[in-house]
Structure 1
Amino acid sequence: MDILSLLGDGMLLALQPLNIMLIVIGVSVGLFIGAMPGLGSVNGVAILLPITFLVPPGAAIIFLAAIYYGAMYGGAISSITLGIPGASTAVATTFDGRPLALKGRASLALVTAAIASFVGGTVANVLFTLFAPLLASVALAFGPPEIFALMLLAFATFVGLGGDDIPKTVFSICFGLVLGAIGFDQISGAPRLVLFEMTGFLQGIGFLVLAIGVYGIGEMLWTIDQSRGQVETTAPKMTAKVMAADTAQAMRQGWKGMTIGSFLGFFVGILPAAGATPASLMSYGVTKMISRVPHEFGRGNVDGVAAPESANNSASTGAMLPMLTLGIPGSPTTAILLGGMVIWGLTPGPLLFVKETGFVWGLIGSFYISNVAALLINLAFIPVFIWMLRMPFTILAPMIFVLSIVGGYAATSDMFDIWMIVIFGIGAFILRRFDYPLAPAVLAIVLGPIAEPTLRQSLLLSSGDPSIFLTRPIAAPITIAAIILILLPAVKLFRR
């Protein structure tokens, strides 16, 4: 009852006129920041952080958290309508969201994304409210062996993402891992794979650069090649009846993806250094792996939209938990929020729940309000997003190209990244012509930089003994599950 009382007080605080105004503005701004390729929640929160010094600390973090929420919703918009991920957290949404849009079901994809985001956020808010101290201690128990075991489990789902052609899937994974290894070694500091001594490679291959190249330029070239430029994008007129039918279909066909994404996303989100991007990709892989129709994924499956969208919203809330309870940011965006809290004179950690009760529960209450506000605003703007699809492809293709280039440049202000976007786009097109799966490569470049240092740190802890992954109580069951999943395709092949 104490928790419900504190939550009620927090929601009343979040519903004060100033706070509710900041929530609506923050969610609306975040929605469009998330939809713009190259921006994303990290840049949006960082850009708008100075504005928050005009309001009290409690209202300031409510505003920034609302931007974070809105950006998680908004990332799906450009992924579905244009095939360009608005942020790295929405890459997995492109896999099935874009095919649905090309089939004339963009409204279904957008409604599914909105509802799944709401469900993921709601589940995460409830778990956050009920189990914050317990879950914080679980996150603290995750050392390098446990995080590597989790990454290994994610890699085990890659085979399911690549179809039945195991050699091509393995090649795609290895190619992504090589790209992820370019730049400075995180442990020794030595430069690696710096091709032709070009200094641009020293900063590594940015994930957003790869994603925009593969799913912006590459997808556009593939569409032009397949259709010879004669693309007809059908977009039905949005009415209350269409919206109701899409909502019912989204709930009926996407409940499994929403369930997996909500719980798995929150769990991955609370782990330090993980974040919403790995959570969304892992949820997509797990959902496809247990689906009765895995062959439909990548061709416009509703579960393929629901899983990553519920996961990235759930993970964004989960990432707040270690920041508030331990003072450890769970994602790049929460690292900026942590810096803001320090500037405002607040010290994150276990004592924050005791000394700043009003601040903490006001923030938690705002999560619930922001989640509802984001759903309503997102659904209200769906007709606008659908209108974009009515443009002729002769206008849409140049727009996609310009957005890809501008989005890539906005993220780093480096012309080297622009050339890499173009090269990755052409490379992705060539790989698709030879029927190589691209999703495993994209996932490998996300998880590779997390898996490699944790593997090396684990082996340093055990003096080179790999049994550390089978002797620790949390790492062992995760590692065994990953090994079983990796061996499953070989067993199926042997049975055939």
Structure 2
Amino acid sequence: MEALGSLIQGFGVLADPMNIAYMFIGITLGVLIGVLPGLGGANGVAILLPLTFSMSPTSAIIMLSCIYWGALFGGAITSVLFNIPGEPWSVATTFDGHPMAQKGHAGEALTAAFTSSFFGAFVAVLLITFLAPVIAGFALRFGPAEFFAVQLLTFCSFVGMGSESPFKVLCAMMLGFALAAVGLDSVTGELRMTFGSVELLRGFDFLIAVIGLFGIGEILLTMEEGLAFKGKSAKINAKVVWETWKSLPRYWVTAIRGSIVGCWMGITPGGATPASFMSYGLAKRFSRNRQNFGNGEMEGVVAPETAAHAAGTSALLPMLTLGIPGSPTAAVLLGGLLIWGLQPGPLLFIEQKEFVWGLIASMYLGNIAGLIVVLTTVPVFASILRIPFSIIAPVIVVICAVGAYTVHNAFLDIVMMLVFGVVGYVFKKLSYPLAPLVLALVLGDMAESSFRQAMLVSQGDLAIFWSNPLVGSIVTLALVMLFWPVISALLRKRQARQDGGSEVIPVK
């Protein structure tokens, strides 16, 4: 009941007309970002973050989070109409969404995608509403050792449980740690890796890095691929929406299963992309119409969209309660909170109660607003793709440059943005993940500070990380996550030996 009372107060904060206006502006910009090639939720939030510095933290985070919701919705438009995934997690939506559009059912496919996305996000917001205060209250007992253990668990989870190569994840993470260490040591006051440069005293700014890595890097890659658009037009009217809504309840098991998968993959650093593929695979396995998957089956649209939005929304739960981002976009939002002087974590629910519950309330209304916007403006956003990419790309680069310059009003930041853009391009070409790099860049200083404080308390004794059942269990779980690829390989080899040894040799 306390959560409901706080949520009502959050809706009171959201009742400010300016916050409502920022919410709709964010949704519209987000859908536009989701539709445009070379951009996405994390990219759009990173590029537009400097524009919110003049706003109050509550209004800024509402607008940025709504940009994220809008981008999640917008990615489905290009997937269904043009067979071009607007986001990585929209790839699974193309499997059945585009075949539906080719058969003349684009309106039904888009309505199913948008409604399923709304349902998945709604389930995730309910989870945040009732679980976040519990986790935050529990985390109030954390000290430096416990906080480092949680941060270690996050890093190790990315290595052991991610879909990418553990070696590549470690390489990206090490680069992020190295970049986070540049500048003035906050504990000793010594300079680290500045190489005599005055400009590097403040270190590598997180915002400059993400604008370059995501914005410029994606643009360079898209330009190389020579993207062109060919697709079906779509018109969604009230009759199409109503008929689709009447048919969707038959897929309620798929939607609930996708929401569970998405919430789990969002809270753990699995991400929306694996969640969408996992949900699609489960739906195909348990469906009565599995032979129709890939040929325009509506259930094949419902499953990935529900899971992707549930994962994208629930990724904010560990970010708000523990200061641990569950996705690249959550990492960008975490950087924004730090820039505004807000420290994500359990104390945020005590010191900035209005801010937290205003943000949670905006998740409810933001997803409703997003559903309304996309259902009424699909033809408008789809027509944007008729603009040649040779015109869109320079506009995006200029927006990135303006955003980077406004951080410190320094031309060097634009140069650094371009350097990070090349790094992001190389990472994409070599299939190295950017999320661990961003995570290490954001959490590197915090993890280092927590570790050094724990060492000062224990006088250099590492046993402090097993000094009580809580921190000991978290560190042990982190080590299991880190070595999980090795452990799982050994378990598979053992199982294979047992299966081979148990085979019965027939007697001739």
TM-score by length of 1: 0.66
SS at match of 2:55: helix
Deviation at 1:454, TM superposition (A): 0.9
**How many Å separate the matches in 2 of 1:209 and 1:215?**
10
1:69 to 50, 62, 68: 62
The structure that has the greater radius of gyration is 2
1:411 equivalenced with 2:444 (yes/no): no
Contact 2:7 2:360 (C-alpha < 8 Å) held by counterparts: no
TM-score by length of 2: 0.65
Match of 1:14 in 2: 12
1:186 equivalenced with 2:189 (yes/no): no
Amino acid at match of 1:381: V
Pair 1:319–1:41, CA change in 2 (3 A): farther
**How many Å separate the matches in 1 of 2:117 and 2:163?**
24
**How many Å separate the matches in 1 of 2:381 and 2:310?**
21
Contact 2:277 2:304 (C-alpha < 8 Å) held by counterparts: no
**How many Å separate the matches in 2 of 1:153 and 1:440?**
13
More displaced 10-residue stretch of structure 1: 158-167 or 178-187:
158-167
Match of 1:357 in 2: none
Aligned residues: 414
1:311 equivalenced with 2:314 (yes/no): yes
**How many Å separate the matches in 1 of 2:233 and 2:55?**
36
Deviation at 1:201, TM superposition (A): 1.9
Q: Deviations over 1:29-82 (max 9, x none)?
A: 4546877555667863x5234xxxxxxxxxxxxxx6465334212135458869
Match of 1:90 in 2: none
Deviation at 1:160, TM superposition (A): 5.0
Match of 1:375 in 2: 367
Deviation at 1:394, TM superposition (A): 1.9
How big is the alpha-carbon RMSD for the aligned residues of Structure 1 and Structure 2?
4.8
Contact 1:125 1:364 (C-alpha < 8 Å) held by counterparts: no
1:48 to 26, 48, 55: 55
More displaced 10-residue stretch of structure 1: 166-175 or 19-28:
19-28
**How many Å separate the matches in 2 of 1:120 and 1:178?**
34
Match of 1:284 in 2: 271
Which structure 1 residue ranges, 5 or more long, are not aligned? 50-63, 83-92, 265-280, 295-299, 321-329, 340-347, 354-359
SS at match of 1:282: coil
Deviation at 1:420, TM superposition (A): 1.3
**How many Å separate the matches in 1 of 2:3 and 2:208?**
44
Q: Deviations over 1:270-322 (max 9, x none)?
A: xxxxxxxxxxx83529976995899xxxxx965774355213554676589xx
More displaced 10-residue stretch of structure 1: 240-249 or 64-73:
240-249
Contact 2:181 2:203 (C-alpha < 8 Å) held by counterparts: yes
Contact 1:125 1:368 (C-alpha < 8 Å) held by counterparts: yes
Deviation at 1:493, TM superposition (A): 4.3
Deviation at 1:149, TM superposition (A): 0.9
1:440 equivalenced with 2:436 (yes/no): yes
**How many Å separate the matches in 1 of 2:6 and 2:429?**
54
**How many Å separate the matches in 2 of 1:166 and 1:7?**
41
Pair 1:103–1:440, CA change in 2 (3 A): farther
Q: Give the 5 Å matches for 1:376-391.
A: 376-382=368-374, 383=378, 385-391=381-387
SS at match of 2:469: coil
SS at match of 2:269: helix
**How many Å separate the matches in 1 of 2:479 and 2:90?**
31
**How many Å separate the matches in 2 of 1:124 and 1:232?**
38
Match of 1:273 in 2: none
Pair 1:419–1:171, CA change in 2 (3 A): same
Which structure 2 residue ranges, 5 or more long, are not aligned? 34-43, 76-85, 99-108, 282-302, 324-333, 494-508
Deviation at 1:411, TM superposition (A): 3.4
More displaced 10-residue stretch of structure 1: 248-257 or 23-32:
248-257
**How many Å separate the matches in 2 of 1:29 and 1:155?**
34
Contact 1:39 1:410 (C-alpha < 8 Å) held by counterparts: no
Contact 2:176 2:441 (C-alpha < 8 Å) held by counterparts: yes
Contact 1:41 1:68 (C-alpha < 8 Å) held by counterparts: no
Contact 1:409 1:415 (C-alpha < 8 Å) held by counterparts: yes
**How many Å separate the matches in 1 of 2:211 and 2:359?**
30
Contact 2:125 2:363 (C-alpha < 8 Å) held by counterparts: yes
**How many Å separate the matches in 2 of 1:167 and 1:110?**
37
Match of 1:121 in 2: 125
1:211 equivalenced with 2:223 (yes/no): no
**How many Å separate the matches in 2 of 1:462 and 1:289?**
44
Deviation at 1:186, TM superposition (A): 2.4
Contact 1:156 1:486 (C-alpha < 8 Å) held by counterparts: yes
Deviation at 1:407, TM superposition (A): 2.3
Amino acid at match of 2:271: Y
Contact 2:119 2:306 (C-alpha < 8 Å) held by counterparts: no
Contact 1:181 1:449 (C-alpha < 8 Å) held by counterparts: yes
Q: Deviations over 1:364-414 (max 9, x none)?
A: 986676444312222233335544444322222222222222222233332
Match of 2:139 in 1: 139
**How many Å separate the matches in 2 of 1:170 and 1:102?**
32
Contact 2:172 2:434 (C-alpha < 8 Å) held by counterparts: yes
Match of 1:480 in 2: 476
Deviation at 1:188, TM superposition (A): 1.5
Q: Give the 5 Å matches for 1:229-378.
A: 229-232=226-229, 234=231, 237=234, 239=236, 241=240, 251=255, 254-260=258-264, 264=267, 282=269, 284=271, 302=305, 305-306=308-309, 308-314=311-317, 318=321, 333=337, 370-378=362-370
Pair 1:432–1:183, CA change in 2 (3 A): same
**How many Å separate the matches in 2 of 1:19 and 1:458?**
43
Contact 1:213 1:424 (C-alpha < 8 Å) held by counterparts: yes
Contact 1:70 1:374 (C-alpha < 8 Å) held by counterparts: no
Amino acid at match of 1:208: L
